[in-house]
Amino acid sequence: MTATESLNQVRNIVVMGTQWGDEGKGKIVDWLTEDAKAVVRFQGGHNAGHTLVINGQTTALNLIPSGIMRPDVQCYIGNGVVVDVGHLFKEIDKLEEKGVKVAGRLWLSPSCPLILLYHIELDLAREAARGEGKIGTTAKGIGPAYEDKVSRRGLRIADLLNPEHLRARLTENLQYHNFVLTQFFQRPAIDLETLLAQLLPYAALIQPMLCDVGLALAQHNQRGESVLFEGAQGTMLDVDHGTYPFVTSSNCVAGNAAAGTGVGPQFLHYVLGITKAYTTRVGSGPFPAELSVQEGVGQHLSSIGREIGTVTKRVRRCGWLDIPLLRRSTLVNGVSGLCLTKLDVLDGLPEIKICTAYELDGNRIDWFPSGADDVARCVPIYQTFATWNESTIGITEYKKLPVNARIYIEAIEQHLQTPIAMVSTGPDRCQTIVKKTF
């Protein structure tokens, strides 16, 4: 059964992360594309790492939408995404080498802000200057590129197309950024000619890939074809709603799927929140339900869940499922249904807990607070569940799950007052349960 089988109407779905990223969004987007003709990214950049496993073959994507493995699906990169063109073409080449046809299937908005060499240098310099208080960014230049967009100084993909214009805009930007790099951070300046020589060859390559993304998505819908909006990162990394300042620099929430692609909110018919059956986080910042990954349950989650970052190869921090955090996520994203991933990682655990509320400054709270300082003072209150010894790996029917696994799933639904529409029982495309059609 496919998720939207019962619907022969246009059904655009936003797929986004409800925690701190790496919930398994890529796997689910790839799986859902069976019923869609287009996938569009709306925020973030190549800080994302989305891993797909299809018949045992693994593909890791950063910038390219997770619909690329299905030949009849068109992929779009919306205006909300920051683009490092060098990285983009490396990723395209890697896919083409594997026999995945990308040409004629990947389209970009000319309004995408560019990530340039000085953004990466600034990202590195800022993190080094923060020392112990560092955010733990992916060092891809994401934050500085978004800063330039908001300051109205940044370059966009369209600026690549005219060499004289590009030279003038870069000269202007380098005056500013080289001042900061050399005078504030005592770092070497970036050379204009080096930067131009790096960028110019991409202009001719990217020009045929440019498109009016909002219009193209609307045309898919007019033809009766559904669109998937693929989120990157997760709600608690959202620059407004996450654990600020330990966040990324974009809005990762579902509402940004419209603004980041050029369509209106009425295009977003269903919001599928991807939730790992436990919690992970890469980089710094508070994590109330965190466990040590050196021992016991934390070590089990880390090793069985293979919790190592796709982009930076850092060990992900691990902890129990956090209901107050998910309550906030379901609210801020308007989640229609959840997809619970990596349930199989809980198989055989000696104990299973979920954090159902916190104690904050002597008071019980049910909702994840905003900002890192308050979150750091939250003490989790846990509920314990009976475990199961059976393997759930690869189960595709809800009723075949161990009874205690179903009790766990249904307790989460109760706590969140939100249906769990899907359950994922392994990394492969086929290791998926549809619990409730949507």
Question: Judged by CB under 6 A, which of 46, 119, 241, 342 binds ligand GDP?
Answer: 342
Report, in Å, the least distance between residue 20 CB and ligand IMO: 6
Report, in Å, the least distance between residue 305 CB and ligand GDP: 6
Residue 22 in contact with Mg ion, rule: CB under 5 A = yes
Residue 426 in contact with ligand GDP, rule: CB under 6 A = yes
Nearer to ligand GDP, 310 or 356 (CB): 310
Stretch near ligand GDP under the rule CB under 6 A, chosen from 44-52, 253-261, 263-271, 381-389? 44-52
* The pair of three-digit structure tokens given for residue 278, joined into one six-digit string: 């436990």
Q: Which of 273, 272, 251 is nearest to 78 (CA)?
A: 251
Report, in Å, the least distance between residue 264 CB and Mg ion: 28
Q: Contact letters (x/-) for ligand IMO, 219-258, by CB under 6 A? A: -------------xxx--x----------xx---------
Residue 46 in contact with ligand GDP, rule: CB under 6 A = no
CA dihedral angle for residue 402, residue 331, residue 368, residue 235, rounded to 10 degrees: 80
Nearer to Mg ion, 51 or 392 (CB): 51
Q: Contact letters (x/-) for Mg ion, 176-215, by CB under 5 A? A: ----------------------------------------
Nearer to ligand IMO, 232 or 352 (CB): 232
Nearer to ligand IMO, 143 or 369 (CB): 143
Say whether 22 is catalytic: yes
310-339 binders of ligand IMO (CB under 6 A)? none
Terminal alpha carbon distance of the chain: 12
Give how far the C-alpha of residue 433 lies from the chain's centroid of Cα atoms, to the nearest Å.
22
Number of residue whose CB is nearest ligand IMO: 283
Stretch near ligand IMO under the rule CB under 6 A, chosen from 14-22, 158-166, 332-340, 400-408? 14-22
Say whether 300 is catalytic: no
Nearer to Mg ion, 33 or 341 (CB): 341
Residue 237 interacting partner from ligand IMO, ligand GDP, Mg ion, none (CB closer than 5 to 8 Å by kind): ligand IMO
- Secondary structure of the chain in HEC code, one letter for each residue: CCCCCCCCCCCCEEEEECCCCCCCHHHHHHHHHHHCCEEEECCCCCCCCEEEEECCEEEEECCCCCCCCCCCCEEEECCCCCECHHHHHHHHHHHHHCCCCCCCCEEECCCCEECCHHHHHHHHHHHHHHHHHCCCCCCCCHHHHHHHHHCCCCCEHHHHCCHHHHHHHHHHHHHHHHHHHHHHCCCCCCCHHHHHHHHHHHHHHHHHHECCHHHHHHHHHHCCCCEEEECCCCHHHCCCCCCCCCCCCCCCCCCHHHHCCCCCHHHCCEEEEEEECCEEECCCCCCCCEECCCCHHHHHHHHHCCCECCCCCCECEEECEEHHHHHHHHHHHCCCEEEEECHHHHCCCCCEEEEEEEEECCEEECCCCCCHHHHHCCEEEEEEECCCCCCCCCCCCHHHCCHHHHHHHHHHHHHHCCCEEEEECCCECCCEEECCCC
45-84 binders of Mg ion (CB under 5 A)? 49
305 contacts 341 by C-beta, under 8 angstroms: no
- Give ∠ CA 135-141-144 in degrees, rounded to 5: 80
29-58 binders of ligand IMO (CB under 6 A)? 47-50
Residue 27 interacting partner from ligand IMO, ligand GDP, Mg ion, none (CB closer than 5 to 8 Å by kind): ligand GDP
Nearer to ligand GDP, 121 or 428 (CB): 428
Report, in Å, the least distance between residue 8 CB and ligand GDP: 28
Nearer to ligand IMO, 47 or 74 (CB): 47
Task: Spot the catalytic one: 30, 35, 46, 50.
Answer: 50
423 contacts 339 by C-beta, under 8 angstroms: yes
Q: Bridge partners of 271? A: 14
For residues 224 and 11, give the distance between their C-alpha atoms in angstroms, rounded to a whole number.
9
265-284 binders of ligand IMO (CB under 6 A)? 282-283
Report, in Å, the least distance between residue 369 CB and ligand GDP: 24
Residue 424 in contact with ligand GDP, rule: CB under 6 A = yes
Report, in Å, the least distance between residue 372 CB and ligand GDP: 22
Residue 345 in contact with ligand GDP, rule: CB under 6 A = yes
For residues 281 and 376, give the distance between their C-alpha atoms in angstroms, rounded to a whole number.
14
Residue 283 interacting partner from ligand IMO, ligand GDP, Mg ion, none (CB closer than 5 to 8 Å by kind): ligand IMO
Residues engaged in binding Mg ion (CB under 5 A): 22, 49
Q: Which residues are catalytic?
A: 22, 50
Applying CB under 6 A, the residues found at the interface with ligand IMO are 17, 20-22, 47-50, 135-138, 140, 142-143, 232-234, 237, 248-249, 282-283
